[in-house]
C-alpha cells in the first residue's frame, strides 16, 4: 500500500511489507477511515479544505475503538503510512513519535513494543482463565471487615508504667532484698 491513503488495511489481504510482529487491530464496526477515507488522505495542510479534513480525521480517530493499535501499526510501518492521517497523527507527527520511541527504547523499539504487547496479552489470557475471583475477593473482604475490630498489638514495653504496677514492682524488689539479707 503506497501513495494515497484509502482507509485502514484490509485484514483479508496480506501486506508482505507490514511488520509481522505488530498486527493491525480488529474492529467490529467500520472505522471512520473506512467510511470517510477522503478526510484521511491529505499529505499536508496546504489548503483550507485539507486543513479541515485533517481536523475531521483527527477528531474521528480520537473516538476510534482501535486507535492505540492503529497508532502502533502506523508507527511500525512507516513505508506504508507515509501519507495521511493515522490514529490522529500526521506524517510529521508520526516521524517525531518514531524518533522518540528510538530514544526511549532503542533502534529495535518495534520488537520491544511487540514483546510488551505479547506479555500483556498473556496476562490478560491468564486472568481470564484463572480469575482472582471469588476466593481472593472473599478473603479481601474478610480482611477489610476484620481490620477495624482487630485488637491492638500487645506491646507492653511501649505502654507507660502505671503507679499500681510501679508499687507492685517495688514490693517484689524489697521482698527479694529482705530474703537476700536473711540468707
Ligand atoms: S484510529 Fe483513525 S486511522 Fe486508525 S483505524 Fe481508527 S479511524 Fe482509522
CA 131 to chain centre: 19
Average pLDDT over the chain, rounded to whole?
80
Q: Of the segments 19-23, 43-47, 84-88, 115-119, which one has the largest average pLDDT value?
A: 84-88
Give the per-residue pLDDT at 9.
Answer: 57
86 or 178, which is more confident?
A: 86
Q: List phi, psi (to 5°) of 86.
A: -130, 125
The percentage of the chain sitting over the pLDDT mark of 70, rounded to a whole number, equals 74
Q: What is the pLDDT of residues 30-45, one digit of tens each?
A: 999 999 999 998 876 6
> Does 96 have pLDDT greater than 90?
yes
Give the per-residue pLDDT at 146.
Answer: 63
Exposed e or buried b for every residue in 126-140, given b needs 16+ CB within 10 A? eeeeeeeeeeeeeee
150 or 21, which is more confident?
A: 21
**Partners of 86 in the beta sheet?**
89
Give the per-residue pLDDT at 182.
Answer: 74
- pTM check: above 0.75: no
Give the per-residue pLDDT at 54.
Answer: 92
Give the per-residue pLDDT at 3.
Answer: 39
Q: What is the pLDDT of residues 127-144, one digit of tens each?
A: 776 666 666 777 777 766
What is the C-alpha to C-alpha distance for residues 157 and 80, in angstroms, rounded to an integer? 72
Cα–ligand 1 centroid distance for 84 (angstroms): 11
Give the per-residue pLDDT at 152.
Answer: 59
For 79, left (φ over 0), alpha (ψ -120 to 50), or beta?
alpha
Q: Are the C-beta atoms of residues 5 and 84 closer than 8 Å to each other?
A: yes
Cα–ligand 1 centroid distance for 58 (angstroms): 9
Q: Are the C-beta atoms of residues 44 and 90 closer than 8 Å to each other?
A: yes
> Does 25 have pLDDT greater than 50?
yes
- The pLDDT-based confidence of 11 (bands split at 50, 70, 90) is very low
Give, using CA atoms, the residue closest to atom 8 of ligand 1: 33
Q: Which residues line ligand 1 (CB under 6 A)?
A: 8, 31-33, 60-61, 64, 66-67, 70, 86-87
Q: Are the C-beta atoms of residues 57 and 85 closer than 8 Å to each other?
A: yes
Q: How far is CA 102 from CA 76, 105, 111, 114, 115, in A?
A: 11, 5, 11, 14, 15
DSSP three-state, residue 135 = helix
Cα–ligand 1 centroid distance for 139 (angstroms): 43
> Does 77 have pLDDT greater than 70?
yes
Amino acid at each position: 500500500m503506497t501513495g494515497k491513503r484509502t482507509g485502514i488495511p484490509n485484514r483479508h489481504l496480506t501486506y508482505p511489507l507490514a511488520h509481522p510482529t505488530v498486527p493491525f487491530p480488529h474492529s467490529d464496526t467500520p472505522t471512520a477511515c473506512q467510511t470517510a477515507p477522503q478526510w484521511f488522505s491529505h499529505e499536508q495542510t496546504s489548503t483550507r479544505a485539507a486543513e479541515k479534513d485533517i481536523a475531521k480525521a483527527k477528531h474521528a480517530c480520537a473516538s476510534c475503538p482501535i486507535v492505540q493499535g492503529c497508532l502502533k501499526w502506523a508507527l511500525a510501518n512507516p513505508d506504508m503510512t507515509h501519507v495521511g492521517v493515522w490514529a490522529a497523527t500526521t506524517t510529521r507527527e508520526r516521524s517525531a513519535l518514531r524518533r522518540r520511541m528510538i530514544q526511549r527504547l532503542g533502534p529495535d523499539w518495534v520488537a520491544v513494543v511487540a514483546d510488551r504487547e505479547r506479555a500483556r496479552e498473556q496476562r490478560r489470557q491468564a486472568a481470564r482463565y484463572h480469575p482472582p475471583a471469588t476466593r481472593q475477593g472473599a478473603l479481601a473482604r474478610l480482611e477489610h471487615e476484620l481490620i477495624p475490630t482487630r485488637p491492638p498489638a500487645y506491646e507492653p514495653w511501649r505502654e507507660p508504667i502505671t503507679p499500681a504496677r510501679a508499687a507492685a514492682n517495688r514490693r517484689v524488689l524489697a521482698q527479694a532484698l529482705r530474703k537476700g539479707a536473711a540468707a
